[in-house]
Amino acid sequence: MQAASESQPSGPKPQPTGEVLIEAKGLCKSFGPVVAVDQVSFQVRRGELVGFLGPNGAGKSTTMRMLTGYLNPDGGEAVLGGIPASKVEARRILGYLPEHTPLHREMRVDRFLGLVATLRGMRGAPRKDAMARVLDSCDLAGYETRRIHTLSKGYRQRVGLAQALISDPDVLVLDEPTSGLDPREIVRVRDLVARLARDKTVLVSTHVLPEVEDVCQRVLIIAGGRLVADGTPEALAGSVGKRLVLEVNGAGDSARLAETLLALDGVEEVAQVASLRGGELRLEVRVCDPLLVLEPLRTVLLESGATLLELRHELPTLEQVFMEHTAGVRETQP
Amino acid sequence: MRQVLAITGRELRAAFESPVAYATILIFVLVSAGLFYLVGMPIGGMPLPSLWEGGEASLVVLLAWMPLSLGLLVPALCMGSWTEERRAGTEELFLTFPLRASQLVLGKFLAHTVIVSLLLLLTVLPIAWTVETLGDLDRGTALVGLLGAMLLGAAYVSLALLVSACATDPLVAFLLSALLLLGLWLVRMVVELFPADLAESIDGLTPGAHFMGSAVRGVLDGGDVLYGLTLICAALLLNTWVVEGRRER
C-alpha cells in the first residue's frame, strides 16, 4: 500500500463537535532542499486527545513547532483558537512541552515555574495558586527548592509538564513527553495526560504506540512529511487488512491447503507462520470481510479432513497500522 | 514590562549564582587598578602616565583603558546569553510564550548592562576615592566619565548580544564579539595612517572615539550621547530581528 502518495489520509474520521482549537491548514515547511512537512491539514476540537504518530524524521516535531508558533510555515497556516499561531495573542491559550524538555537547568524548580508564570502574564495570587496547583498535579511537592539539573529525568519531565500547565491552557501540545522515561514514569505521564484531556485539547506525539491506543480518541499518522492517516485507533485498525488466524492438525499437504484457501472469494493473502498451539500448520489469512469467508473456509477444512485447533479473527494492533502507513516512506529530515 | 524585568531578573540571578561572574569582576577590578596606578596608558597617539608617575588627580588614565578592557570583558559576559539559550532549547520555549522577541532582547540587554555598570562602579569608585584622598579630584568630571563608561559598556553589551544571537556557540560568540569590539578600538589606532578627512569620518563611527572625545574629559556632549543611544537601539532592533527570524528558518 503506497500510503504516502495518497492525497487523502485513510480511515474514517470521528465527528467531534466542540470548537476547533488547533488547526493546521495545508502546512508546509522545508529546510533547505529538504521538505520536512508537506501540505499537512487537520483540526483538533475542544476536549479531544489526539495522538500524533510517525517515524523519526517524519515531520512530527516540525508540525508541532509550527502549531505552537515557534516556526513560521513556508506555506499554509497554523491556527490556535481561531488566531494565527504566529500572533502573540494566539499563544496565550497554549501550553507546550518541546521535545527533549528544554529547561533552565541551573534554576530552582519554583523559580523556574515562577518565571514561566510571569512570562505568561500571571501575577499576584493567581500566579501563586497556579504554582501550587502544578506542583501538586505534577507530583513535584517537596522538590520546589531543588535545582533542575539535580533532578532525575523523570522529575525533569514533570517540571516540563508543570511549565506547560501553569497557565491552565486550553490547548496542550506535548512533543514526545514519555521518551526516555522508565515504565513507571511513562504510566504516570500517561495518566496525567489522560486526566488533563478531560477539559483540555491535547495533541501528543509519541513513539509508544500502546499508550496512544489506551488514551487517545484519535490518531494522526505522519510519514515523509505528509499526513497519511487520521481516525480513531479502532477505525484505523479496521482500515488495515483484517486477518483470520487458524491452526490445524492433519491437513495433509500444507501447500495445497494454502492454495485452496487463496482461491476462495474474499481471501487476499495466505501466509504460513510458526505454530503456537503445537499444531502442524498455522496460517494467517488476510481477508476483506471475515464473516463472508468463514463458511467456505469451514467447508475447505472439512473436505481436507483437518482438525481445527484454533480459529481467530485478529484485529491489527496500532503498531501494525503504523508500520503499514509508514512503510517505504523516506525520511524527510537530516 | 513585567515580562522584561522577569527576564532581566533571571539573567542577573544566573550570572550572580555562578562563580565565574565573581572571578571576572575581581580580575577586572584588580587589573584596571593595576593599570591605573602602575602602568598608565602607553598605547595610542598621546601616552598617559600612571598615577604614581604622573601624579595627576584625574581618572583619565583609568577611563582611557575602558574601550579596550570592556572590549574583552563584555564579550565574555555576553557570549552565552543567546547561544546557551539555543543549546538548551529554552529559546524554543520562550518563543512559544505569549511574548515578543523584543521583550526577550530588552530583558537580556538590561541585565547585562546592570552587570557591566555594577562592575564599572566597583572599579571606578575605590580609585576615585583614593585619588580624592591624595589630591583634588574634580567630582563632576569623574561622574561624567563614569556615566560615559556605562554608556560605552551598554553599547558594547548591545553589540555583544547581537553577536551571541547570531553565533552558534559561546566560544564563537566570544571570539567574534571580541574581534568586533577590539577591531573598533584598533581602528582608532591605525586611522592616523589615512588622509585626515577620511580618518576623521572613520574615527567618528567608533564608540571609542565618542567616549574618548568627551566623557573621558568630563564633557557631557549631546551628540556623543545620541550616538551611543542610536547605536544601542540599532543593535537591539537587529537583535530582535535575528531572534524573530529564527521562526523563518
ipTM: 0.86
This prediction's pTM: 0.85
Q: How confident is the model at residue A28 (pLDDT cuts 50, 70, 90)?
A: very high
At B20-64, the pLDDT tens digits run 888 888 999 999 988 888 777 777 666 777 766 666 767 788 888
Residues of A in contact with B14 (CB under 8 A): 104, 106-107
Residue in B3, B14, B88 nearest the CB of A119: B3
What is residue A150's DSSP assignment? G
Average pLDDT over residues A292-299: 86
The verdict on a CB contact (< 8 Å) between B98 and A91 is: yes
Q: How confident is the model at residue A5 (pLDDT cuts 50, 70, 90)?
A: very low
Residues of A in contact with B92 (CB under 8 A): 65, 70, 98, 102
Q: H-type helices in A143-272, by residue range? A: 153-165, 183-196, 209-215, 233-239, 254-262
Calpha distance B100→A328 (Å, rounded): 42
The verdict on a CB contact (< 8 Å) between A70 and B99 is: no
What is residue A159's DSSP assignment? H
pLDDT greater than 70 at residue A125: yes
At A196-217, the pLDDT tens digits run 888 889 999 987 777 777 788 8
Q: Which three cell numbers stand for residue B121?
A: 562602579
Calpha distance A59→A175 (Å, rounded): 12
Using only C-alpha atoms, chain A has a radius of gyration, in whole angstroms, of: 24
How far apart are the CA of B154 and the nearest CA of chain A, in angstroms? 24
pLDDT, residue B57, reads: 67
pLDDT greater than 50 at residue A333: no
The residue among B80, B92, B79 whose CA lies nearest residue B249 is B92
